Amino acid sequence: MPEVKNPIEKETFAEYRYALNYCIINYSYSFYTWEDWERELDWMALSGVNLMLAPVGTELVWYNTLTRLGYTREQSLSFISGPAFTAWWLIGNLEGWGGKVSLESIQQQAQLQQKILKRMDELGIEPILQGFYGMVPHDLTSKLPGFKNATVIDQGHWVGRESIRPGIIISTSSHFGKIADVYYQELKKLYGKKIHYFGGEPFHEGGKSGTIEVAKVASKIQSTMQKHFPNSTWVLQGWQNNPSNQILKGVDKKKTLVIELFGENTNNWEKREAYNGTPFIWSNVSNFDEKKWTIWEATTIY
């Protein structure tokens, strides 16, 4: 690296300078080592990023949650996708695809995430971790006697008939709270209480909501998040028809942030009147990872 003889400072009007989306976690980062992440985070900081999606290590949160609820070790591991498909699992498009993973491998991912979060804190970058939005194994009611009467909406398949989507347990039921409490407890054990942003939302890319009142579901998801992490912000993806108007109707907009992911190609933020008055970040995708080392810090907001 060439020596920088004099300090270089640049200023921006943007409060949030955001980077990444779920797909990049697997388009480029599936097998990143700590050395790779160390370089990536340095580059993010040099680029002015102060808010970044950071879902690495969610696998162990889910494993611990399911085993506490009553799933066996094998059943819990079968729910988690393989390392190249984590992104589409987290957004509720598939479960168990590309697996089965080993406990050792997801423990390594958790250790990696702890290093990532520590460095992000040192660099002043706020992480967005995965919140609990109702995603559960599609066979929850048949596997756990205590949840046999739970209302779980079957989400069918995503892209063909082979990839089974996780179910969505309705947040307005007591069963939702039982799982959410365990999930957030396990997340705190692994990654601490200093988390201010959470991603994840139900009914993504063709998800089925049935006849339920989506606004009430969204409100409960957010209030449960606030119960465990007061004053946190729910980060929603502005992608295709998401987030729906019904989800936006149910949230506290002061504690919600929409990422307009594809702003250079779509103008949802205009057509939907700033997502019905919800704070949002305009961003762009410069390319879809045409080189191994290409990163999506291009989604940083200016």
What pLDDT, on the 0 to 100 scale, is given for residue 163? 83
Q: How far apart are CA 162 and CA 164, in angstroms?
A: 6
What contacts 3, CB < 8 A, 6 or more positions away?
none
Q: What's the pTM value of the predicted model, to 2 decimals?
A: 0.92
Mean pLDDT of 32-40: 97
More confident residue, 285 or 108: 108
pLDDT over 70 (residue 266): yes
Of 196, 158, 199, the residue nearest 21 (C-alpha) = 199
Of 33-47, 118-132, 210-224, 262-276, the poorest mean pLDDT is in: 262-276
Measured in whole angstroms, how far is the alpha carbon of residue 123 from the centre of its chain?
A: 21
Fold of 18-299: TIM Barrel (3.20.20)
pLDDT over 90 (residue 288): no
The DSSP 8-state label assigned to residue 56 in this structure reads T
Mean pLDDT of 228-244: 94
Dihedral angle, C-alpha 47, 48, 51, 53, nearest 10 °: 0
Q: How far apart are CA 214 and CA 111, in angstroms?
A: 36
More confident residue, 7 or 234: 234
Residues in the chain: 302
What contacts 240, CB < 8 A, 6 or more positions away?
205
The answer to whether 199 and 53 are in contact (CB under 8 A) is: yes
Place of tokens 């949650």: 65
Confidence class of residue 263 from pLDDT cuts 50, 70 and 90? confident
Confidence class of residue 62 from pLDDT cuts 50, 70 and 90? very high
pLDDT over 50 (residue 14): yes
Q: Which residues of 275-294 are buried (b: 16+ CB within 10 A; e: fewer)?
A: beebebbbbbbeeebeeeee
What contacts 242, CB < 8 A, 6 or more positions away?
201, 203, 204, 205, 236
The answer to whether 178 and 150 are in contact (CB under 8 A) is: no
Residue 171 sits at φ, ψ, to 5 deg, of -70, -20
Q: 3-class DSSP state for residue 264?
A: coil
What pLDDT, on the 0 to 100 scale, is given for residue 239? 86
Q: How far apart are CA 142 and CA 289, in angstroms?
A: 40
Predicted confidence (pLDDT) per residue in 131-158, tens digit = 999 999 999 999 999 999 999 999 999 8
Mean pLDDT of 232-249: 93
Q: 3-class DSSP state for residue 164?
A: strand
Q: Which residues of 204-243 are buried (b: 16+ CB within 10 A; e: fewer)?
A: bbebebeebebbebbbbbbebbeebbeebbbbbbbbeebb
Q: How far apart are CA 18 and CA 72, in angstroms?
A: 38
Of 47-51, 215-219, 286-290, the poorest mean pLDDT is in: 286-290
Peptide bond into 100 cis (omega under 30): yes
What pLDDT, on the 0 to 100 scale, is given for residue 183? 98
Q: Assign residue 206 a region: left if phi > 0, alpha if psi is -120 to 50, beta otherwise?
A: left
